[in-house]
Amino acid sequence: MAWLKCCGIELAGVVSLPNPPSSEHRDIGHVGEAASGKTVVTRIARKRDLKFTTRPLSADDAAAWEALITGEGHVFSFDVSEYSSKGLGPSIIDNLGPIVSVGSIAAPKYGAKFVGFDIDQTLDLDGIVPATAPWTWAAWINNNGVFADYVWHHVVIRSDGKRWLDGVRNDSVIPLGFDFTDGDLHFSGGFDPPPVGIDDLVVFPALWPEDWPAQVYRAGVAFGAAPFLSMAGDMVREAATRTMICKSVSEKFLIANVGDGMERDVRTLEFDLAEV
């Protein structure tokens, strides 16, 4: 079993071993003494909190890990509406039908529903990330016109031009009906054959490290409703997953060798997570 995963991404490789992570239980309720001297316990639940520090990271990796664990960006499950877990909604919906299975797509990748596009249907999401790089977006896409099999495929696109299909680097993959310009994300079903399905869309304000796409593809779980984190692994073994939120993060700057024989400015991050 993994040591600790956040939204399907393993943390073991970035946690500092000289500064071992810590975990403590937090009781929900009260423990006190009655007038008779007896101990009175009104505890109704126990939550698990985590603290850990990363090893020295490059500036890009530190930005990615901080954005992930603090829950930056937007995640669209499309289970209930076109709005993200933070309440960001679409600016334009042209002829978009209900969020249900359509055409030959049998079921959503995760959850209850997904967005299905047919001919002349579009969905625009304006300003979901800064108009300038860096950014990453990832989604499960099901479209016969692209993949010719009506199977859900995971696509990751970074602002530096690097792309992944089902966890494998493939810079040539371009989902039909997709456009990302100046912070605006546009999906369209204006092509034949329809439909196109999109599920579990993640829009992230940093570059995903190159080992993340394969991990998210293999995880077999939805990414999670940012800013809430879906945590799993040995550190939270009492449950299959625990929902946590980052209470605080601090950053330290130093000069170090990050493994390539050269010294450079790097940084370490210290996170304090609380179960909700």
Residues 16-28: tens digit of each pLDDT? 877 788 888 888 8
Assign residue 275 the CATH number of its domain.
2.40.30
What are the b/e assignments for 52-76, b being 16+ CB within 10 Å? Answer: bbbbbbbeebbbbbbbbbbbbbbbb
Task: Say if residue 79 is in the same domain as residue 202.
Answer: yes
Examine the fold and report which residue of 226, 242, 259 is the final residue of a domain before the chain moves on: 226
Radius of gyration of the chain (CA): 21
Determine the pLDDT at residue 216.
96
Measured CA angle at 46 (ends 45, 49), to 5 deg: 145
Task: Say if residue 113 is in the same domain as residue 66.
Answer: no
Determine the pLDDT at residue 18.
77
Task: Say if residue 64 is in the same domain as residue 78.
Answer: no
Residues 171-195: tens digit of each pLDDT? 988 776 666 666 566 666 554 555 5
Determine the pLDDT at residue 22.
85
Per the structure, the count of domains in the chain is 2
Task: Say if residue 113 is in the same domain as residue 34.
Answer: no
Task: Say if residue 204 is in the same domain as residue 241.
Answer: no
Determine the pLDDT at residue 31.
82
Q: pLDDT band at 101, cuts 50/70/90?
A: very low
Task: Say if residue 80 is in the same domain as residue 205.
Answer: yes
Q: What is the pTM of this model?
A: 0.84
Task: Say if residue 5 is in the same domain as residue 110.
Answer: no
What is the domain extent for residue 191?
74-226
Task: Say if residue 86 is in the same domain as residue 205.
Answer: yes
Residues 105-135: tens digit of each pLDDT? 567 889 888 877 665 666 677 666 666 778 8
Task: Say if residue 209 is in the same domain as residue 234.
Answer: no
Whether 103 has a pLDDT exceeding 50, the answer reads: no
Distance CA(134)–CA(271), nearest Å, equals 23
Task: Say if residue 118 is in the same domain as residue 194.
Answer: yes
Whether 47 has a pLDDT exceeding 50, the answer reads: yes
Distance CA(21)–CA(62), nearest Å, equals 18
Task: Say if residue 197 is in the same domain as residue 168.
Answer: yes
